[in-house]
């Protein structure tokens, strides 16, 4: 199957975990995404630097609809409460790799292992259904919460990108982390896919 065909078949995929649901990101979700990405506490966990604006985010959303290299999910609790966003970027069909991201924007859901479950079901789906061999991410070196999550799942630090980003007015290091299929330690092995 070519990458373009894969992207089309994933546009309606929903992934259910025990306590979370990953469904396709919709245009109606964008005001929440903008609010989350602009929240100062949430921004301290991100590697993005620009402030988000709704009109620009709507244009971005329309542009990514035809991008076969990415899949964006809106994350909800099992009872439907909005939590955040997650997904895969830079999917490479030749090398079977992708970058993952996860933002829990609703701070009431911080702690309690939900970030681990979100990552676990996303990664299990990506390795099993998309047949990826490696998933990587860029994380801030000063974010111990995400570091604990990715370590539980088997990610390894592949390198430190020194003074890579200007965040909060200062140059900061970030880690490039990677996870090979055979290194993955699923913390939440049960998930269901609805297509």
Q: What is the pLDDT of residues 151-178, one digit of tens each?
A: 999 999 999 999 999 988 899 999 999 9
Neighbour order of strands in the sheet with 14-16? 156-167, 170-180, 134-140, 97-104, 82-92, 71-77, 20-24, 14-16, 192-194
| CA distances in angstroms from 138 to 40, 79, 101, 111, listed in the order given | 19, 30, 8, 21
CATH of 3-132, one of 3.40.50.300, 3.40.630.30, 1.10.1060.10, 3.30.390.30: 3.40.630.30
- The residues with which 17 forms a beta bridge, in sequence order, are none
CA 191 from chain centre, in angstroms, equals: 17
| Residues whose CB falls within 8 Å of the CB of residue 182, separated by 6 or more in sequence, listed in order | none
What is the C-alpha radius of gyration for the chain, rounded to an integer number of angstroms?
A: 16
Helix, strand counts (H, E) of the chain: 6, 9
pLDDT in tens, 108-140: 999 889 999 999 999 999 999 999 999 999 999
pTM score of the predicted model = 0.91
pLDDT in tens, 67-113: 999 999 999 999 999 999 999 999 999 999 999 999 999 999 998 89
């Amino acid at each position: 199957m070519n990458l373009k065909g894969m992207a089309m078949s994933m546009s309606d995929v929903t992934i259910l975990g025990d306590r979370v649901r990953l469904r396709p990101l919709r245009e109606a979700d964008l005001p929440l995404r903008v609010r989350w990405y602009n929240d100062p506490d949430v921004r301290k966990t991100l590697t993005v630097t620009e402030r988000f604006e709704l009109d620009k985010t709507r244009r971005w959303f329309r542009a990514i609809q035809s991008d076969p290299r990415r899949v964006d999910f809106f994350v909800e609790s099992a009872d439907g409460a909005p939590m955040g966003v997650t997904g895969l970027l830079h999917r490479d069909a030749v090398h079977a790799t992708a970058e993952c991201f996860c933002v829990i924007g609703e701070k009431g859901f911080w702690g309690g292992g939900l970030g681990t479950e979100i990552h676990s079901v996303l990664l299990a789906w990506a390795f099993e259904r998309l047949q990826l061999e490696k998933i990587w991410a860029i994380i801030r070196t000063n974010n111990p919460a995400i570091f604990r999550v990715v370590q539980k799942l088997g990610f390894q630090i592949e390198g430190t990108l020194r003074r890579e980003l200007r965040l909060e007015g200062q140059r900061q290091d970030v880690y490039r982390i990677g996870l090979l299929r055979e290194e993955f330690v699923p913390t939440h092995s049960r998930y269901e896919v609805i297509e």
